[in-house]
Structure 1
Amino acid sequence: MIGATAFVSAVITGGALLGAVPAAAADTGGISGLVWFDRDASGTLGFGDAPAPMSGIRVDNLSTGESTQVYAGSDGTYQVPALAPGRYRVAVGTGWTYERTTPGHVDVRVRPGRTATADFGLRGGEVCGTAWDDADGDGMRESGEFVLPAVQVTVNTPMLVQAVTDASGRYCAHDLPLGGEAVVQPQYLAQRGFGFTRGIVESFPGEPFDSKIDPVTGNSHRYALTTEALTVDVGYLKATSDLSTSQIIFEGQPAGKTTFAVGDTFTVYGSVFPSGNVPERLGATLTVPAGLRIVDRAGGMPSTVQGRSVVGEFPQRRTPGANEFIGAQVVVEHAFSAADVTLTVHPGDFPDSDPANNVLTQTINAV
């Protein structure tokens, strides 16, 4: 799509986009026109408006009933040449739902060697916002906090629209189909050291944060798309992270027991948790010594059995302080001495401030 300013300039200055339709013969004429997104709903083309490419134009001969279908080009213009003289009805349609800011159809007369004109204005929805560095992590945009340019923002509607924040941190997705819903999905900036700050989340839709992004899912709420402009700001926070192992426990055995008998069955659990100021990716591996056979996985962390290990990771980021468990149901198959159960927390999205607590071991015996 050409830029809105260049588009309007070309049309207003006369002819870079709209020209006369060449007649196939002296006894035929034509119809040409423009379909544009009328962003200010003025009914007239103005600066800031944009072309509406691929809009369908239907031309009906009111005398014969014959119809012709054409589509607007990338610049929003269309041409229907070589029409017999007479009266025609010209109508605009799209594959999406838009408000008309001009009549949806126009009746014109085609004369030999002449070109009739029929233009159409459409209006859709709009989602705009600002991405910023929420330095104090309170979810509120305050004086002195810097904006973030070059952040990609996806607006998921019946069509997928992508925008990028400019030098002022501002993004806008224009001309969205009406009647559906929009979900804003901003870029996750882990490579730049940012997570999402506190924001409105599904369970607490009334919280008064300026950031409208759930810091766990990275998505906004679902917004109904109307012609009323939506503002969805995106708060980021420079991340600190410490992923830690917490404990190894043996369920079904007396507390403190570390020596087991061949044939014993029990469940080994390891707990891990994220600390820091933003939700973090969280996974872990629990490995048992030779002599124990894993019968099945256990614990709240999604995981799979891989040999003598259970390996897991949550599909969504976890909030700081959430203690999560990964486990293995085991049976003692043969004796061993002074072997370790090992719990390892996986690397997250951000540098770990204390790698020393990423691994925990528990020595056990079997007789």
Structure 2
Amino acid sequence: MQLRTCGTAVLIAAFIVGTAGTATADPAPTGSIEGKVWFDRDADGRINGVEPGLYLGWVTLSDRYGNYITGTQTAWGGTYSFPNLAPGVYQVDGKQYNYGFSTPTTRRVTVTADKLSTANFGARGGKITGRSWKDLNANGIREAREPGFSAGIGLTVYNGATTMNADGRYTIDDVALGEATLQSSDGYEGGRMYTQSPAHQGTDPTRDSDFEQGTGRGPTFTFQLGPNGSVRPTTPATADVGYYEAHNTGTLTLTPDRDTTTLHVGGTVTFTGTAAFTGNALDTHAIHSTGSPAGLIFTEVTSTPSWSLELFGSDYFSLRDSFFRVPPPTVTFTVKVAITAPTTGNLTITIGGGIFFESGPATSVTTPINAT
């Protein structure tokens, strides 16, 4: 019994000592890899202050033998990160398959415990250049006296960054491989609308406008990978666009179906009108009310062809067509008005005159109203 007791005591003591001596191991130290994918516009392999990062690029991490581990998208500014990596050698791949490159696309990076390792990747895109000018005589040919025009203009292409200078010269950088189609929008200056000049006029292709009149669609360029990771167009990527001041004017007639000076509360009056636009604007034609006395409510407004109707409360309406009709259209319309209270005043309906940025003088028809 004593030997057994002694043996048991020895075993218990050994267990207690062993338990007391056990400690939780600290986690193994790790390091990380961070970096940036940026548009290396001067292809010098160095990041400078004006070169932007590539947003939503893709960077992958592999082990030292090239076995894929994980991947990540670049954040706004082109940055990425692979945290909590065990010390060792890794491969980081920053090749962007829709762009060229200015640096090696794969880098071997050694991760050291508690240290940050860096791998940056330079991407290269294509470039489109051109100029926008104010076409004073609207003939689609850039002449020496005609100034550059940059007010309110948008020259866009998918995956491209546009810089517009005050003299109308523009550059679109960072254009992706493949096809790139230019698109221009209307310009606005001093409350007046400017639209695209006629395209491909004259005999000098360096002085004409290259964008479709009305739609604003420009040429399509194809970019492909060139020497040393460059991105080159298959044809010279330059396009100009002329703008002229667009006058949205015309004639307007308006006929009521009854005497508007002897109306009564609870009754209605219907106006039938025709608007014939004769200006040189190609889009955003509108018919709208510019004044009505209290006690009148617009209850129904229709047009042929059918235009978009916008009602602002019950005392203002606008019929608008923004679908690039060439030449300017003629539209017939009806306006039904309900009399809800005794009133005296004038009902005015207008085309042109600056609504929705149409340039040119307004054309209006005013009808006297008297209701008891």
What does 1:283-298 align with in structure 2 at a 5 Å threshold? 283-284=286-287
Match of 1:299 among 304, 326, 330: 304
Instruction: Give 3-state SS (helix, strand or coil) of 1:230's partner.
Output: coil
Q: Quick one: distance in 2 between partners of 1:303 and 1:72?
A: 42
The superposition leaves residues 113-170 of structure 1 with CA deviations (integer Å, 9 ceiling, x where unpaired) of 887654422122333332221122212222122123453425252x5x6645223323
Change (3 A) 1:62 1:233: same
Q: Which amino acid aligns with 2:146?
A: E
How far is the alpha carbon of 1:189 from its aligned partner?
0.8
The superposition leaves residues 273-324 of structure 1 with CA deviations (integer Å, 9 ceiling, x where unpaired) of 33344435323479xxxxxxxx9967335377x99xx97432235446x451
Q: Quick one: distance in 2 between partners of 1:233 and 1:151?
A: 16
Q: Which amino acid aligns with 1:129?
A: G
Q: Quick one: distance in 1 between partners of 2:329 and 2:154?
A: 32
| Conservation of the 8 A alpha-carbon contact between 2:135 and 2:197 | no
Change (3 A) 1:272 1:360: farther
Q: How many residues align?
A: 292
Change (3 A) 1:26 1:301: closer
Change (3 A) 1:300 1:89: same
How far is the alpha carbon of 1:238 from its aligned partner?
3.2
* Counterpart residue number, 2:365: 359
* Counterpart residue number, 2:285: 282
How far is the alpha carbon of 1:223 from its aligned partner?
2.3
Q: If the length of structure 2 is used for normalisation, what is the TM-score?
A: 0.57
Q: Quick one: distance in 1 between partners of 2:46 and 2:278?
A: 54
Q: Quick one: distance in 2 between partners of 1:69 and 1:56?
A: 7
| Conservation of the 8 A alpha-carbon contact between 1:98 and 1:123 | yes
Match of 2:323 among 292, 301, 316: 316
Q: Quick one: distance in 2 between partners of 1:84 and 1:298?
A: 72
Match of 1:210 among 199, 208, 211: 208
Q: Quick one: distance in 2 between partners of 1:116 and 1:273?
A: 70
Instruction: Give 3-state SS (helix, strand or coil) of 1:50's partner.
Output: coil
| Conservation of the 8 A alpha-carbon contact between 1:301 and 1:326 | no
Q: Quick one: distance in 1 between partners of 2:35 and 2:301?
A: 68
The superposition leaves residues 84-114 of structure 1 with CA deviations (integer Å, 9 ceiling, x where unpaired) of 44432211255x7222344432334556788
* Counterpart residue number, 1:251: none
1:57 matched to 2:64? The reply is no
* Counterpart residue number, 1:258: none
What does 1:115-134 align with in structure 2 at a 5 Å threshold? 118-134=119-135
| Conservation of the 8 A alpha-carbon contact between 2:253 and 2:365 | no
* Counterpart residue number, 2:332: 326
Q: Which amino acid aligns with 2:307?
A: P
Q: Quick one: distance in 1 between partners of 2:214 and 2:179?
A: 24
1:178 matched to 2:177? The reply is yes
Q: If the length of structure 1 is used for normalisation, what is the TM-score?
A: 0.58
* Counterpart residue number, 1:220: 217
- Aligned alpha-carbon RMSD (Å): 5.0
Q: Quick one: distance in 2 between partners of 1:297 and 1:241?
A: 21
